């Protein structure tokens, strides 16, 4: 029996990870595609197409396929291996072909169009109208009106893109996993905090290299190394290793993959009647056009760059004064920035870490959600999990009604890609009056506990946890009828609002008092430290803003330029990023070949959305600051109009309903210290 094809006899119909084996995936996907095609055939058999028998039926079609493919691709990100990666190369084209079979089905599109043309006479609710318009547009935007020959071409392009995206990600993961820096001389790790030392010794021991210290390109290893190691040559070595991932001209090099992806995306956009992939993507975004995105980024750069240049001048002078360093390089930035921050604000990560024990921070974010939105998270060990590191929870409302299932996966391992993300195994929807509640997960790469110390987070890791949990709340508190419109199924430049706004609570004493307690003494974080966190929150904000803008500009350039004009990926990257350059270039290093957000994730022509959503989150949080950070009425409005509403209406309508007006950028500029 294939557990993926049986009714899940698990709590809340969660995936039976304890029974699923790799060999179950391919036959399950194949069987689910057959079943989904029967759903589609049934829709086409109806006599007169209506909103319910066509549009709603299509939204509900292939339900089991959605669940099984979610399980598979989430594992491919969080707990992969060679066998899963090989399966992905087989499964991904099957799903792409299935998607094309639906979107390019002329008979099905004719039925949708029949409903669409009479939309004004159907007396639809705003949510129903959104679903109808989104369904119709999705078909139009993905080739419904193409000729048979063009449809065949589109299928070929999509199949190739799905495989190239997988290969890109596999290469980045392989590069991350294969690099190891082993240090035997303890004097070489001078400056490294004791808990990071212990973690490095533990890593070495796990690899059979006891008595030494091992460092990798995983964030919890790389970031502290670059921040604290005094040996400049070692910092340079690790920096170059990190920034030459997948660009060494070997079998893991991604330059050709990028070139081919850009060519295919552009060809696809042209085929569908768009000038570029960016134009195709931005048609369905709040920003609406590439020109508007560029104006937004350029205006922000104009305000941020002078501040960033001033910060780099100050840091260069500080490094010279401290160590006689005449030229600041990229591998010096984190090291001297941490020292300068400590000098200016009497604060650093090591001073704060003892107050941020992982378990306490997790409880803190849960309590924050409970106070704001009335939900409780209760650990449930009966829910199967895909790795021992994962913790499973049931989410309940104030009346103990079931809200969602939540998976938390916090530590790095070889089978997990780097970074942090939220994902879901099942979305929220209502079918025949029965509400189906979501299964949501966050995956991070935090500092692991050692033999003598628990996992103690940096403040940046604390804000990352709040950020990802903000995404999770968007998924868990979804309240709608149609899965394609609930949770995080919103415009891409709106999706970061719930995540980024939650980070703001990390700077508030009222919130920090819930969880920021010294892991040994239980003492609450002192008032003066909270004040210093706030004072230091603008430290190097100019630099950080320019860096984010540089990535947004690179993304827009890649996806808004004719690929024929991009002859050399490293040269193109250097040219685009020259206007945001603050430190000398390091020969041989580049960003593009490991820029997974835009070449593996869903951020192609959308990376600007982080800064776009910052305008929204700063503006939205100002209302909380006016009313009180735990104000019930404001939280209720945010819950109903943003979190629960998902994509049921246009985001600008939802935002105005919450805020009472359009967003204003002044709050972001003020918060970042870019204007006084």
Confirm if 517 and 360 have CB atoms less than 8 A apart: yes
pLDDT tens for each residue of 163-205: 999 999 999 999 999 999 999 999 999 999 998 999 999 999 9
Q: Is the pLDDT of residue 366 over 90?
A: yes
User: pLDDT by residue (tens digit) across 281-333?
Assistant: 999 999 999 999 999 999 999 999 999 999 999 999 999 999 999 999 999 99
Interior CA angle at 338 toward 334 and 342, to 5°?
170
Q: What is the mean pLDDT of residues 535-560?
A: 97
CB-CB contact of 488 with 474 (8 Å): yes
Residue 211 has pLDDT above 90, yes or no: no
Task: Kindly list the domain boundaries of the chain, sorted by start residue.
Answer: 179-242
- Are 351 and 456 in contact, with CB atoms under 8 Å apart? no
Write down the H helix ranges in 2-46.
22-45
Crossing angle of helices 333-345/290-323, nearest 10°? 80
Please give the backbone phi and psi of residue 12, each rounded to the nearest 5 degrees, phi first: 60, 25
- What is the predicted pLDDT for the residue at 675? 83
What's the pLDDT tens digit per position in 413-448? 999 999 999 999 999 999 999 999 999 999 999 989
Q: Are 494 and 286 in contact (CB under 8 A)?
A: yes
Q: Which long-range contacts (CB under 8 A, 24 or more apart) does 597-600 make?
A: 597/551, 597/555, 598/555, 598/558, 598/559, 599/165, 599/168, 599/254, 599/257, 599/258, 599/261, 600/165, 600/166, 600/168, 600/169, 600/172
| Average pLDDT, integer, range 598-612 | 95
The SS3 of residue 359 is helix
Residues 468, 503, 573, 622: which is the catalytic one? 468
User: What is the number of other CB atoms lying within 10 angstroms of the CB of residue 614?
Assistant: 23
> Cα–Cα distance between 409 and 17 in angstroms, integer?
14
In the residue annotation, 370 being an active-site residue is answered as no
Predicted pLDDT at 676 = 72
- Angle at the Cα of 485 from the Cα atoms of 482 and 490, rounded to 5 degrees: 170
Rounded Cα–Cα distance for residues 337 and 340 (Å): 5
Q: How much of the chain exceeds pLDDT 70, in percent?
A: 100
Q: Are strands 402-409 and 439-443 parallel, antiparallel or unpaired?
A: parallel
Instruction: Give the pLDDT of residue 84.
Output: 98
* Mean pLDDT computed over 473-489: 98
Asked if 152 contacts 241 with a C-beta cutoff of 8 angstroms, the reply is: no
The answer for residues whose C-beta is within 8 angstroms of residue 591's C-beta and 6 or more apart is 243, 551, 554, 573, 577
Does the pLDDT of residue 60 top 80, yes or no?
A: yes
What is the mean pLDDT of the segment spanning 37-49? 96
**Distance separating alpha carbons of residues 441 and 448, to the nearest angstrom:** 19
Q: What is the pLDDT of residue 210?
A: 86
pLDDT at 567: 95
Using CA atoms, how far residue 416 sits from 445, 520, 628, in Å, is 9, 31, 39
Q: How many residues are there in the chain?
A: 676
Whether 12 contacts 402, CB under 8 Å? yes
Task: Could you list the beta-strand ranges (E) of 283-409.
Answer: 376-379, 391-396, 402-409
| Rounded-to-10 torsion of CA 531, 532, 534, 538 | 160
Mean pLDDT of 46-73: 97
Residue 501 pLDDT exceeds 80: yes
pLDDT score recorded for residue 16: 98
- H or E stretch at 435: strand 434-436
Write out pLDDT tens, residues 612-658.
999 999 999 999 999 999 999 999 999 999 999 999 999 999 999 99
109/129 Cα distance (integer angstroms): 17
b/e sequence 463-489, b meaning 16+ C-beta within 10 Å:
bbbbbbbbbbbbbbbbbbbbbbbbbbb
Beta strands across the sheet bearing 421-426: 376-379, 391-396, 402-409, 439-443, 421-426
Instruction: Encode 113-149 in three state secondary structure.
Output: HHHHCCHHHCCCCHHHHHHHHHHHHHHHHCCCCCCHH
State mean pLDDT over 73-91. Answer: 97
Mean pLDDT of all residues in the chain?
96
């Amino acid at each position: 029996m294939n557990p993926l094809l049986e009714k899940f006899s698990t709590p809340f119909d969660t995936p039976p990870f304890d029974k699923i084996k790799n060999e179950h995936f391919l036959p399950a996907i194949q069987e689910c595609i057959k079943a989904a095609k029967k759903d589609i055939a049934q829709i086409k058999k109806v006599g007169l197409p209506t909103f319910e028998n066509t549009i709603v039926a299509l939204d509900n079609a292939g339900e089991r396929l959605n669940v099984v493919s979610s399980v598979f691709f989430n594992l491919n990100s969080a707990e992969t291996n060679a066998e899963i990666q090989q399966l992905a190369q087989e499964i991904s084209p099957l799903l792409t072909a299935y998607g094309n079979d639906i979107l390019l089905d002329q008979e099905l599109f004719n039925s949708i169009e029949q409903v669409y043309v009479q939309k004004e006479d159907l007396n639809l609710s705003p949510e129903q109208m959104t679903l109808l318009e989104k369904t119709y547009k999705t078909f139009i935007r993905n080739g419904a009106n193409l000729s048979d020959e063009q449809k065949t071409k589109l299928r070929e392009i999509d199949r190739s893109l799905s495989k190239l995206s997988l290969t890109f990600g596999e290469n980045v993961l392989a590069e991350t996993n294969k690099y190891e820096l082993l240090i035997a001389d303890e004097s070489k790790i001078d400056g490294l905090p004791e808990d990071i030392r212990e973690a490095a010794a533990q890593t070495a021991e796990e690899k059979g290299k006891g008595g030494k210290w091992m460092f990798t390109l995983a964030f919890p290893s790389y970031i502290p190394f670059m921040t604290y190691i005094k040996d400049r040559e070692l910092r340079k070595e690790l920096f170059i290793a990190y920034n030459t991932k997948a660009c060494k001209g070997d079998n893991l090099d991604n330059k050709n993959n990028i070139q081919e992806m850009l060519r295919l995306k552009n060809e696809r956009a042209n085929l569908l009647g768009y000038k570029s992939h960016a134009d195709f993507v931005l048609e369905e975004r709040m920003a609406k056009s590439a020109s508007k995105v560029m104006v937004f980024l350029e205006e922000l750069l104009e305000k941020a760059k002078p501040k960033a240049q001033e910060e780099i001048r100050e840091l260069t002078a500080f490094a010279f004064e401290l160590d006689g360093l005449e030229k600041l390089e990229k591998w010096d930035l984190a090291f001297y920035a941490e020292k300068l921050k400590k000098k200016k604000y009497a604060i650093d990560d090591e001073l704060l870490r003892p107050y941020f024990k992982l378990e306490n921070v997790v409880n803190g974010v849960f309590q924050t959600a409970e106070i704001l939105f009335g939900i409780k998270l209760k650990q449930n060990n009966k829910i199967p999990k895909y790795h021992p590191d994962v913790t499973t929870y049931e989410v309940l409302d104030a009346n103990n009604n079931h809200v969602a299932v939540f998976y938390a996966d916090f530590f790095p391992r070889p089978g997990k890609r780097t970074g942090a993300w939220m994902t879901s195994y099942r979305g929220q929807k209502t079918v025949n009056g029965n509400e189906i509640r979501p299964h949501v997960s966050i995956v991070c790469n935090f500092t692991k506990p050692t033999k003598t110390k628990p996992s103690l987070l940096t403040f940046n890791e604390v804000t990352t946890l709040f950020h990802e949990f903000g995404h999770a709340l968007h998924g868990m508190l979804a309240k709608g009828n149609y899965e394609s419109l609930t949770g995080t199924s919103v415009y891409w430049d709106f999706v970061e609002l719930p995540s980024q706004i939650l980070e703001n609570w990390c700077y508030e004493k009222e919130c920090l008092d819930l969880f920021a307690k010294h892991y040994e003494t239980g003492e609450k974080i002192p008032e003066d430290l909270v004040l210093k966190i706030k004072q230091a929150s603008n430290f190097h904000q100019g630099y950080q803003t320019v860096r984010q803008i540089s990535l947004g500009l690179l993304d827009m350039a890649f996806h808004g330029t004719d690929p024929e004009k991009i002859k050399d990926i490293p040269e193109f990257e250097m040219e685009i990023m020259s206007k945001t350059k603050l430190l000398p270039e390091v020969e041989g290093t580049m960003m593009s070949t490991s820029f997974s957000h835009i070449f593996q994730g869903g951020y192609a022509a959308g990376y600007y959305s982080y800064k776009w959503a910052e305008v929204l989150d700063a503006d939205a949080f100002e209302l909380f600051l006016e009313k009180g950070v735990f104000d019930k009425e404001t939280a209720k409005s945010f819950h109903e109009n943003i979190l629960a509403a998902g994509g049921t209406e246009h985001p600008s309508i939802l935002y105005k309903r919450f805020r009472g007006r359009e967003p204003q950028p002044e709050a972001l500029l003020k918060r970042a210290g870019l204007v006084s």
